[in-house]
Amino acid sequence: MNAKLLILILILGIGLLFVGNGVYIVSEYQKAIKLEFGRAIEEDISPGLHWKWPFVNEVLKFDARVLTSDTPSQRFLTVEKKAMMVDYFAKWRISDPGRYYTANSGIEDNANQVIAQLVNEGLRNEFGKRTLQEVVSGERDELMAAMVSQITNYSHDELGVDIIDVRVKRIDLPEEVGDSVYNRMRAEREQEAREYRSKGREQAEVIKADADRQQTILEAEAYSEAEEIRGEGDAQAAAIYAAAYNKDPEFYTFVRSLNAYKETFKSRGDVLLVDPNSDFFRYLNDVEGRGQ
């Protein structure tokens, strides 16, 4: 291999190395800035293929998509000085790569910390203007909109990011007051339950008394009706007996005597002391009942 070919290969190698280190690509979901010895000379480079001087320029690329800043639960006070633990997250996006790099050196974790502090302060101010009821259910959307509007100008001008939205995931009472609140709620529910039971027992007594009264009335009406029916039956029986007696007094007397004998001697253990000549044995002594 002669010297000219070696020099040519060396020049090609240096050229490829120079081109390889000078060409860079910015994708559509990235934002980039170009630095020259640590100083920004080109900000917000558009997506596509670009050139930089090797060893002189440096290109920093940042995620241009919507990012999430999620922090642990924070303690806030309402206007009534009631404490609550709030778990929330913020959605943000880089709007100015130059300011973003200047504010936090382009490190996403640093940006998350600053954004968390901004959101924390904004929520603390907004919670301090509202009651617990308004925070929990009444004005949560208005609270978030006011807070985002309050901090978005600062974040854009100072941090190079836009706060898109802030949402509360959960609101809890602090542990030190949670038990007392739950105990008070339990006591209120138990008192309400006792009131319902008392009203239920009162209504039960009224219903029972009414049922007893209706039972007494029904029994009295039934007894009265039964007595009327029994009286009518006795009257009809007496009329039948009288008619039978008037039709044949002797036969009627004979049948009555047979029934008396039957009832008297139906048990073998019965002992009866009667004068044989009494009227009781009238038809036993004489089938015609003439007696002696």
Closest CA to 151 of 189, 121, 124, 171: 121
- For 67-172, CATH number? 3.30.479.30
> Tens digit of pLDDT per residue, the chain (292 long)?
567 667 777 777 666 666 556 778 888 888 888 888 877 778 878 888 887 777 778 888 888 888 888 888 888 888 888 788 888 888 989 888 888 888 888 888 888 888 888 888 888 888 888 777 777 765 677 777 777 887 888 888 888 898 888 888 887 777 666 566 677 778 888 888 989 999 999 999 999 999 999 999 999 899 989 988 988 888 888 888 777 777 767 677 777 776 776 776 666 666 666 666 656 566 555 555 454 4
Closest CA to 135 of 176, 81, 69: 81
Torsion on CA atoms 106, 70, 72, 87, rounded to nearest 10: 150
Closest CA to 31 of 8, 6, 54, 48: 48
Could you tell me the residue ranges of all domains in the chain? 3-63, 67-172, 249-292
**What's the whole-model pTM score?**
0.52
What is the per-residue pLDDT for 247?
74
